[in-house]
Amino acid sequence: MNGYGGSILRVNLTTGQITKQPTPPELGRDFIGGRGFGVYFLFKEVPKGADPLGPENKLIISSGPFSGMLIPGAGKCDWTTKSPLTGGYADASMGGHFTAEMKYAGIDTIILEGASPKPVYLFIDDQKIQLVDASPLWGKGALAVEKELKDRYGEEYQIAAIGPGGENLVLYACINHDYGRQAGRGGVGAVMGSKKVKAIVLHGTRSVPVVDLKGYRKAGMALYLACKESEGLAEWTRYGTTIVTNWCDEVGALPTRNFSAGSFEGGPNIYGQTMRKEIVITDKGCFGCPSPCGKYSSMKRYNTMVEGPEYETIGMIGSNLGIADIQAVAEANRLCDDLGIDTISAGGCIAWAMECYAKGILTRVDTDGLELKFGNIEATFEAIHKIAHREGKLGNLLAEGTKRAANKIGQGSEKFAIQVKGMEQSAYATHNATAMLLAYMTCDVGAHHNRSWAITYDLQVGRDKVVPEKVARIIWLQNFRPMFDVLGSCRLQWVELGIDRDLYLPALEAITGIHRTWEDLEAVGDRIWNLTRLFWARENEGFGREWDLPSPRFYEEPPQTGATAGQITTFQDVQRLLDMYYEQRGWDNNGLPTPTTLEKLGITAIAV
C-alpha cells in the first residue's frame, strides 16, 4: 500500500503471541490511518462493557500516511483505547520521532491486547520483534527509563514509556516519549500499565512506497516553503504555545484558581515572554518540524531541566493552582513527565482539591498533612508524587480524577469538578465564550481543546452570542482538525502558521495515489466523529444529553475578578447550544446519531 508501512502488528500480552497481518487496503481507503484506524479497531475488537483496565481492552497505536514523510510536522502518532478515566472513547496524539520509526519498521498499527503476567517491554527492530522482561525497569521514572533504554540500544531507537503513574493505574496516566512528548490524555498510560507494558522500543530502516516520487517531493517542498514564508514563524518558534498566555489572561480565558476566574493577578510571572527570558535554553521540534514549539528549560532553583512547560501546563499548574512562578511550574511539569501523569488532569485534580481545602471540605486529615492552599508550591509537588504513587488518602482520591473524587467526597464539590464526561477541562476558561464552551461540551474524549478551538472566533462574533453559525463552526472544526491526527502530521502548521490547507492535498495524492478533496477528508472526519459517539453510547448505559453538560461553574458562577468579571453563560443557552448542535449533526434530541445519519455516513454496518 502506497504511503503505508504495510502491516498491522498484534501483540497478545497474555499469551506472548506476536502476529503481523497486511494492512487492509479498504481500511486505508475508508479510515485513512491514525485516529481513523484507532476508532475502527476499538469499535470492532474491544467487546462491549470491557473493563478499561482489564485484558479485554486494547491499546491501539497508529501512524498515518503522512507519518515519517517529508511533510511538516509528520511525527504524529495516535494512541486509542477505551478510557479508564471516562469509560468512553479516548485517543491521545503524540509527537516526537516514534511514528516515523514505526512506519520504517513496516508497521501502521500496533495493537496491544491481553495483559502480561509480568512487566515487559516490546522491542521492535525491523523484522525482529519480541517481548523482553522489564522487571528491572518497573518502578522507575519514564524519563529515566528512556535514557536507560537509549543507552542500551542506541540513540536511533525510539522509546515510549510509562512512569509509576501508569504502573499504579492513575486514571490519567500518560505515555512519555522523546524526553518530553506525551500521549497525554484519557489514561492511555494506565491502560499500558494494566497490560504490564513498561515501554516500547522501536527502530526501522525500510523505505515507504509512494506513488509519485517527483510529485511528493514537489508538494512536500511547497508545504515547507509555506511554513518558512509564514509571517508568524519567528514568534511562534520563539514562544511556542506559550505565546497565548498573556492574551488568555487579557481576555479572561486563563484558568485561575480552579476556573473560578479567567484572569490571574500573578499572570506576568508565567507569561511566555517571562518564560523565554528566565528559563528557556533552546527550541526543540519533532520529526520534520519547521516550527519547533518545544522549549528546553533549565530550572536553576531545582537544578533540573525539562522540555516545557507549554501553555496547557502553565495554565493548569500555574494560574489554576494560583502559582505565579515559572520555575515552579516547569519543575511540576518535569515531575509529572517522569512520574507519568497528564499535567492537564493533574492540575485540574489538584485545583479541585485546593478549592475543597479552602472551603473546609477537605482537611489536613484528608490531605495526609499537606496544607493544600492555592499557591503552595511544595504542597503541589508533594501532591503530584502522592497521585503518581497512589499514596495515602489524597493520592488515592486524586488518582481517580475529579469526577469520581467529587462523587466520593460530595458536599457540593461536584459543582466545581471542572470536567466533561469525566475528563478534566484543559486550559481555557469558558465563562463567557459560548463556541469554546460547546467545543468542550461535545469533544469526543471529554473536555479537551484539541478537536476544536474557538476563543478568537467567540471574540469576533460576540462572545455571549448563541447562533447557528457558531455551532456550524465547531462542527466544521471537529470534522476537519482531527484529520491531522488521522493523516499523522501536526496541525500546528495550519493552526499557528496559517498555511493554506489545500497544500496538503497534492502531497496526499502523490503519496497514496488517491485523489481526495478536503470535502472528502471532512466526510471521513464526520464518519469518525459519529463512530466515537456511538462508542460512548455503547459503553455507557443511559449515555446522552446529560453527558454533554459542562461544569456548573460555567453557567452558575460568574467570575468576581478579571476580564470576564460578572459574565456567565445561562443554562438556557447551554441547552440551546446542544439543541442546535444535535440538529446540525443529524442527531436526536438526546444526542445520539439517527439511523438516517448513520446511513448517510455509510457506517450503519460498522455500528451494529
Chain residues binding other proteins by CB under 8 A are: 231-232, 235, 241, 243-244, 246-247, 250-251, 273, 311-312, 426, 428, 449-450, 453-456, 459-460, 491-492, 494-496, 498
Shortest distance (Å) from residue 454 CB to other proteins: 7
Shortest distance (Å) from residue 425 CB to other proteins: 13
Shortest distance (Å) from residue 259 CB to other proteins: 16
Shortest distance (Å) from residue 172 CB to other proteins: 18
- Residue 23 or 564: which CB sits closer to other proteins? 564
Shortest distance (Å) from residue 522 CB to other proteins: 16
What span, in angstroms and rounded, lies between the C-alpha atoms of 437 and 466?
Answer: 11
Shortest distance (Å) from residue 272 CB to other proteins: 9
Residues 76 and 35 sit within 8 Å (Cβ to Cβ): no
Question: Coil, strand or helix: which one is 21?
Answer: strand
In the chain, how many H helices and how many E strands? 27, 17
Shortest distance (Å) from residue 132 CB to other proteins: 37
State how far the alpha carbon of 423 is from the alpha carbons of 34, 342, 401, 442, in Å. 22, 11, 8, 12
Residues 43 and 145 sit within 8 Å (Cβ to Cβ): no
Shortest distance (Å) from residue 498 CB to other proteins: 5
State how far the alpha carbon of 563 is from the alpha carbons of 251, 363, 436, 437, 494, in Å. 6, 32, 16, 17, 29
Shortest distance (Å) from residue 208 CB to other proteins: 28
- Residue 253 or 370: which CB sits closer to other proteins? 253
Residue type, 10: R
What span, in angstroms and rounded, lies between the C-alpha atoms of 419 and 436?
Answer: 14
Residues 230 and 494 sit within 8 Å (Cβ to Cβ): no
Residues 143 and 361 sit within 8 Å (Cβ to Cβ): no
Residues 327 and 269 sit within 8 Å (Cβ to Cβ): no
DSSP 291: S
Contacts of 22 (CB under 8 A, 6+ apart): 6, 7, 8
In 3D space, the residue among 315, 258, 547 whose CA is nearest the CA of residue 431 turns out to be: 258
Residue type, 294: G
Shortest distance (Å) from residue 449 CB to other proteins: 5
What span, in angstroms and rounded, lies between the C-alpha atoms of 301 and 62?
Answer: 39
In 3D space, the residue among 274, 275, 294 whose CA is nearest the CA of residue 283 turns out to be: 294
Residues 422 and 85 sit within 8 Å (Cβ to Cβ): yes
Peptide bond into 309 cis (omega under 30): yes
Phi (first) and psi of residue 20, to 5 degrees? -125, 140
Angle at alpha carbon of residue 581, lines to 577 and 587, rounded to 5°? 135
DSSP 65: T
Residues 92 and 184 sit within 8 Å (Cβ to Cβ): yes
Residues 121 and 198 sit within 8 Å (Cβ to Cβ): yes
Shortest distance (Å) from residue 353 CB to other proteins: 25
Angle at alpha carbon of residue 537, lines to 415 and 586, rounded to 5°? 100
Shortest distance (Å) from residue 461 CB to other proteins: 11
